[in-house]
Amino acid sequence: MGDETEVLDLRQRVIDLRRQVAASEGRFRSIVERSTDGAIVVDAAGIVRFANRAAEGMLGRAQSDLLGQTLGFPVVAGDVAEVDLLSPHGEIRHAEMRVVESEWEGEPVSLALLRDMTERRRMEDELGYQATHGPLTGLPNRFLLGDRLNQAVARVRRSGQSLAVAFADLDDFKAINDRLGHPVGDQVLVETGRRLLGVLRPADTAARVGGDEFVVICEVADQAMADAVVARVTRAISQPVILGDQQVVVRASVGVVLARHTGPDTDPASLLAAADEAMYREKRRARVDQRAR
């Protein structure tokens, strides 16, 4: 009789424990289902056992599509990492993932908690862009130009190429502002930036470093290629700018210096100063030629 009682007590304890586990899992499901963070339960084989609605939205997939599948990125207890979530429609969302050990239906699992960082990443990228590009032309500013120039100098020292640095200044730009107004002057600057990008290679850099001053850097093989870059830049800028029913004629003085990988003349600050001086020499030469005519 005593043995039967002990068996009955044991069975009751098992039943009570199962009820407690079920109640605990029910509370767990309820909590994570209401969470604004994504929650995904992954077993030891990396198979999804559960995903809440927030996770469905972040992944762009229904739970029925996720269950029994792998996520495509590792889920390891203890990890804190940023992951890119690609939906079936090609949308990419960025999330911070924290993984903790847990238990699901009596088995050890990993619980991945996903916090959507897409908007924060977008804002960071936008602020970074604003800090390194001019708001009017969208070209790199002096800060980003310095970084690009440092990288270019390092590359040509390794590659054996040369680096052309061209400094362009729009002639008599103040007269355009005074005669036609600053809005027209701004449009001329925007069009100048657009034209520079149109005649350069993707790997080259065009930057606006002052009111009407632009700098171009490009890796070239020799002086002839550097001169060809200057010719393209000068020709592009000098084409009349059509603004509505008026035509604005722009001229530019462009100076260029060539830094060879074997020479001592590859200090970025010195290159910019030398290109600036070459531009002023070109401007003075053009004025002498104009008076001679």
Return the active site residues. Answer: 212
3-class SS shares of the chain: helix, strand, coil, % to 5? 50, 25, 25
How many Cβ atoms sit within 10 Å of the Cβ of residue 196? 25
Contact 191, 238 (CB under 8 A): no
Q: Enter the tokens of residue 65.
A: 């599509």
Contact 107, 43 (CB under 8 A): yes
Q: Of 244, 253, 251, which is closest to residue 181 (Cα–Cα)? A: 244
Q: Of 126, 129, 248, 132, which is closest to residue 195 (Cα–Cα)? A: 248
- CA–CA separation, 1 vs 3, rounded Å? 5
How many Cβ atoms sit within 10 Å of the Cβ of residue 11? 10
Query: Which residues lie closer than 8 Å to 82 by C-beta, 6 or more apart?
Result: 94, 95, 96, 97, 117
Give SS3 for 263. coil
- CA–CA separation, 54 vs 34, rounded Å? 8
- CA–CA separation, 293 vs 281, rounded Å? 19
